[in-house]
Chain A
């Protein structure tokens, strides 16, 4: 029995049932003609098709994340996407913004409601169409930020915060970053070659004014065959003679993700497949100008609260906004750059990073990792967040038979 009454509070376990995503496109390219809300709608409908035993009216809430909540990413996306997807009008929805950790936060916020006994089933999503909504579109930072030196002037440009990380940790060289990036491309290519990632992708019809309708089924960002030598020639756009390049960072990306969460009891009742159980989560802040180090304190906090240590974690899905930021995390926890437990299927450097959508992409990768590694018990999904934050969720593997229940 996964539900117990404590006083008047009902405490429920949260399970991750299923996750899907659109193909990830280069900003404004393959998915350029699609609306962001439509991308979310396609993922919702596919999730419902793949889980036919779930009556849609059982969904208690829908949360959708976007960083730039303007136009087709505005208008309370969780509600509008639910209506557009044909969910019953009785299913409510709302929007979430925690920049890159939007979808991650949609999952933790909905999960918290499930844990508290308020919800049984929830739908989380994230989208970023960076072609239609470039980073920083329409922002109006309060002048006090700079006047009172509340943040470093470079804190709002993510590439510059990555350069700052190289400054802070001298051992994080460009060579290590490039090597990590090459490995990410190789792992991604191998995962696609083994058909590990295709099943989570929902093909999307996209119209181009000149070429008519297309069916986009594959990711556009990966660059298989990337070499150390090739990366060495790339420009460092954020700083002359810097270390951060297009090759060792994630590119500007269009895409959407969605996942289905449920209380464990409801998943059992409806016959939903339970892939992962949420163990705990945490968010933490750091100085905005070195936002990339955010996953270190958020992970430590999550481990502490769960009564676990870093050595209990068998698989790490860490977002690769920048190679240097992953390396900072690995160094802190004394994990090798090429540790096979880290991003086994590759990461954002290869597949792309549609900001607020990426959190759920990490979860669908972790679910696949768990399936591939039945011996693994715990894994984490973690990512750095603009303005100096990190977010971490610890998950328990339910994919293998005989795993501890």
Chain B
């Protein structure tokens, strides 16, 4: 297909493309080095809307290169971006609307046809990476002969694998041939799978991706001066040949590592691995064709669509929670109270003081516990100062803001008091009654309960309308999800204030109804219950624990159990069983394990490899029914499909999107599953269990 007809065809899919124009200037280089054809990638928006490549943008770049080809006496070609942005890759706005392999392939081929021209000119080409360069943006730079990077550039990555794709506009062939397979695997796979970890400008230098780095104040001027010196032979750039002898071993080791982690759950990292392996022997043409073959298939796959869905939930829905009262109703929060000085309460105090930078008072009945809580917060702040994440002045400020007391009277002028005491209804009711006796009538009372009823906690108060559930996930500083639960009497001002605070805390807030265990813990408890039930019935530990491997979850069920703590998990399962005895399972084996003071099913050897603790095996009383891993998986997924449907039917959340967002940011379930419901839909489980899909 010619470029023109490909553009026309694809453009009908990308109807909303914000076109990145390739603006061309012919200018004189310093030092008499000749004429430079300089392309500026610019979508005519400010830096908050970075430049991306859609079909029209690629056509514009192609046209600029055509014009350069017709210009006489060009010494070099260079490409750079608008302020702060180089280019951030393919326009994904139409990616999930592509409905045929032919269209997908047309896009991958068009990108190759345009980008590869930078590597096939009769003169050297230079990429001046002035700012964010992600995906196809970084790939354009890789096609160039040389690269400079601004020391101020932020957002340098090949994130494709993170979204179920591969850097298939040249990246998987060019990068390993430039910097070797070890570093290419790190950039393309390891970084992408580590929550899309970004590189720093200095990383580009160390990895050999960039040839020169200049400070942002005169980055372009110095880049062009450097260009002149390269052209004049005053600067030589070394291009060490990657070691091809160890190439296969390196890739094989990476593939084995993927298998341990993913068990084949999603194709993109494997495909990337294969292409990097092939880059060892493939010619340029063969490498790019292999990318076209692989990328077009991935573009039609369910994992890309689920990943884009997840990406939008995390980046859009999480920032604009659904069903929240207008933010104008929110009241100012100028002082925080934290009831309890245990680990959870101390983590909360640290988070609140870091983000809100207002006074935080920790109280506990026991002075020694208060001191311990304060010491934890101060220690964490000191550690951040030591690592350079906080300035010493900011550290002093934060530490001075956190105080402790054994008397709740110190909450008198607080606007927001959160409790993180033992998970017991009477205790929480009593704590709030004591707090209410000292605070103003409008002070928000938030509870970090994970399984108790908000409405019941509030029921004896004079002002139950000020009580709200504020459910964090452990560890508080890391996990992005905050379930904000509305009790039957919670008023709009309270809810609006809770969401305003959640936003300042930089959490992904989801509004949930006051229902047992809300969303994430309810789903995980139900799911763990099915796995532990299978073991109690007679399935062996390994078969049960590996049952969910094909999903590529971050933790296997028993590792999750260890992280949560068997005692907590058992307590929650009992609470849930009391509410929903038909569905939530209480394991007598787990009861014995907790009673014996065991904190895990497993013991771990020096290499971090788990095996069943013989003490645990001895405690367990198992039945005669051995299920296969597949049968356990079917049971667990069936239970999840049922429970997710009930969450929606009961109105615990507004939509399936909220369930998926909760699983993504609260349980860390993978993008390629779309959280939960897209996976249940595409595997047919939704229809088998509920008679219909969650979507549409």
- Which of A's residues lie within 8 Å of B, judged by CB? 41-42, 45-46, 84-86, 202-205, 207, 209-215, 217-218
Contacts and interface: CB of A to CB of B under 8 A. Distances in A.
Given A211-B25, A212-B25, A213-B38, 4 more contacts: A205-B224, A211-B40, A213-B220, A214-B25
A205 B24 contact: no
Given A212-B42, A213-B40, A205 B221 contact: yes
B218 A207 contact: no
The 7 closest A-B CB pairs, nearest first, are A212-B40, A212-B23, A205-B220, A215-B27, A213-B40, A205-B221, A214-B25
B28 interface: yes
Interface string B540-555: 0000000000000000
9 contacts: A42-B221, A207-B40, A211-B23, A212-B25, A212-B38, A213-B25, A215-B28, A215-B36, A215-B38
B224 A203 contact: yes
A86 B217 contact: yes
Interface in B219-271: 220-221, 224-225
A354 B199 CA distance: 42
Given A212-B38, A215-B27, A203 B217 contact: no
A202 B218 CA distance: 11
A356 B25 CA distance: 31
A45 B216 CA distance: 12
Contacts of B80: 213
A312 B23 CA distance: 56
Nearest to A213: B40
A203 B32 CA distance: 13
B366 interface: no
Given A86-B215, A217-B30, A212 B39 contact: yes
Given A42-B221, A210-B23, A213-B25, A203 B30 contact: yes
Interface of B: 23-25, 27-30, 36, 38-40, 42, 44, 80, 82-83, 215, 217-218, 220-221, 224-225
Contacts of A218: 28
Nearest to B22: A212
B215 A215 contact: no
B218 A42 contact: yes
A211 to B, nearest CB: 6
B83 A215 contact: no
Nearest to B28: A217
A222 B125 CA distance: 33
A41 B42 contact: no
A358 to B, nearest CB: 23
A212 B220 CA distance: 12
Nearest to B23: A212
Contacts of A211: 23-25, 40
A158 B72 CA distance: 46
Contacts of A214: 25, 27, 38
Contacts of A203: 30, 221, 224-225
A40 to B, nearest CB: 11
A209 B220 contact: no
A213 B218 CA distance: 13
Nearest to A84: B217
Given A212-B25, A213-B25, A45 B218 contact: yes
B221 A215 contact: yes
A116 to B, nearest CB: 32
A209 B82 CA distance: 9
B133 to A, nearest CB: 16
A30 to B, nearest CB: 11
A86 B152 CA distance: 12
A38 to B, nearest CB: 8
Given A203-B30, A207-B40, A215 B217 contact: no
Contacts of A213: 25, 38, 40, 80, 220
B468 to A, nearest CB: 45
A133 B447 CA distance: 58
B513 to A, nearest CB: 50
A212 B27 CA distance: 11
A203 B27 CA distance: 12
A258 to B, nearest CB: 13
Contacts of B83: 207
B593 to A, nearest CB: 59
A69 to B, nearest CB: 22
B310 to A, nearest CB: 36
B224 A215 contact: yes
A211 B23 CA distance: 5
A212 B215 CA distance: 20
A202 B224 CA distance: 12
Contacts of B39: 212
A218 B25 CA distance: 16
Nearest to A201: B30
Contacts of A205: 218, 220-221, 224
A322 B40 CA distance: 40
B135 to A, nearest CB: 22
A210 B83 CA distance: 14
Contact of A209 (B25, B27, B38, B44): B44
Given A215-B224, A217-B30, A85 B217 contact: yes
Nearest to B42: A212
Contacts of A84: 217
B221 A204 contact: yes
Contacts of B224: 203, 205, 215
A328 B225 CA distance: 44
A84 B215 CA distance: 11
Contacts of A85: 217
A212 B42 CA distance: 8
Contacts of A204: 221
Contacts of B36: 215
Contacts of A41: 217-218
B91 to A, nearest CB: 20
Nearest to A41: B217
User: In this complex, which of A205, A210, A211 has the most chain B Cβ atoms within 10 angstroms of its Cβ?
Assistant: A205
A96 B39 CA distance: 39
A84 B36 CA distance: 28
A323 to B, nearest CB: 32
A210 B21 CA distance: 10
Nearest to B219: A205
User: In this complex, which of B83, B221, B225 has the most chain A Cβ atoms within 10 angstroms of its Cβ?
Assistant: B221
A218 B30 CA distance: 11
Nearest to B225: A203
Nearest to B40: A212
Contacts of B217: 41-42, 45, 84-86
Contacts of B25: 211-214
B18 to A, nearest CB: 15
Nearest to A209: B44
A210 B24 CA distance: 9
Contacts of B30: 203, 215, 217
Contacts of A202: 221
A393 B452 CA distance: 83
B393 to A, nearest CB: 14
A204 B218 CA distance: 8
A41 B83 CA distance: 17
Nearest to B78: A213
B23 A215 contact: no
A45 B222 CA distance: 11
A41 B215 CA distance: 12
A268 to B, nearest CB: 30
Nearest to A216: B27
User: In this complex, which of B23, B29, B44, B83 has the most chain A Cβ atoms within 10 angstroms of its Cβ?
Assistant: B23
B51 to A, nearest CB: 12
A287 B541 CA distance: 100
Contacts of B44: 209
A204 B224 CA distance: 10
A396 B220 CA distance: 38
A217 B221 CA distance: 10
B566 to A, nearest CB: 54
A211 B221 CA distance: 17
Contacts of A217: 28, 30
